[in-house]
Amino acid sequence: MKQPDIGQSPMARARGRRPGAASTREDIIEEARRQFGEFGYRRTTMRGIARGAGVDPRMILHFFGSKQELFAATIEVPFEPEAAFEALFAGGAVGIGQRIAEFILSVLDDPRGQRTATSVIRAAVSEPEAAALVRVFLTQRMLLPLARRVSHDHAELRASLIGAQVVGLIMARYVVALKPLSAATHEDLVLALTPVFEYYLFGDLAAATALGH
């Protein structure tokens, strides 16, 4: 006599497969990238991603299996480190610091690069497993290839100092949002960082010489 379960909840969408093209998977990844980048791994929740993507939370498990696998699927390095270093060093030692600074800043100007960077850093801070992954990736894929092109003493230390400066820049600019750095222009930062990168690459680390004035 009663209509069977219809009208019980006016907002209740019908179950089953939606007609038309299904962008659900991509919507989830897109929203997950945003939230992991903005909130970090721990404070980002499956339900929050689902809400932001306009999707049932169950879809995330359906497509990705777990929160960790979803996070892994959101990571995209927008360049190939070894190829990028080769191109950067192809121009010789002259101007190498500026080219590195330009390259790093341009990666961080791109929303994808910026989100990936902050996302990975935040995850490394809150998840030990992520920190281990970051350590391996940074060391094997970024710092060692960079160090290999630095034919100087303490090559790995030099690469690590550059990495530390870059990480600090990301933290100060995007995570803590220190005004002088978040307001500085791309060009200002390139100019300010260029001498530091050149010093870390080629300078005499064991002699506290003055560095320009």
Partner DNA sequence: CGACCAATTCCTCATTCGTGGAAATGATAT
Partner DNA sequence: ATATCATTTCCACGAATGAGGAATTGGTCG
Minimum CB separation from DNA for residue 113, in Å?
25
Distance, CA of 47 to CA of 57 (rounded, Å): 5
Q: Select from 28, 21, 74 the least CA-distant residue to 47.
A: 28
Taking CB under 8 A as the criterion, the residue among 24, 125, 141, 149 binding its own copies is 125
Rank residues 82 and 127 by Cβ distance to DNA and give the closer one.
127
Partner whose binding site includes residue 2, from DNA, its own copies, none (CB under 5 to 8 Å by kind): none
* 47 sits near DNA (criterion: CB under 7 A): yes
Chain positions 67 to 106 lying near DNA, rule: CB under 7 A, are: 67-68
Distance, CA of 26 to CA of 53 (rounded, Å): 9
Distance, CA of 76 to CA of 107 (rounded, Å): 12
Do the Cβ atoms of 84 and 98 come closer than 8 Å? no
How many residues sit in the footprint of DNA (CB under 7 A)? 31
Residue owning tokens 């092109």? 149
> Hey, how many other C-beta atoms are within 10 angstroms of the C-beta on 164?
11
> Hey, how many other C-beta atoms are within 10 angstroms of the C-beta on 209?
8
Q: Which residues bind DNA (CB under 7 A)?
A: 9, 11-20, 22, 24-25, 44-48, 55-59, 61-63, 65-68
Q: Which residues bind its own copies (CB under 8 A)?
A: 40, 42-43, 97-98, 121-122, 124-126, 131, 134-135, 138-139, 143, 154, 156-157, 159-161, 163-169, 171-173, 175-181, 184, 188, 190-192, 194-196, 198-200, 202-213
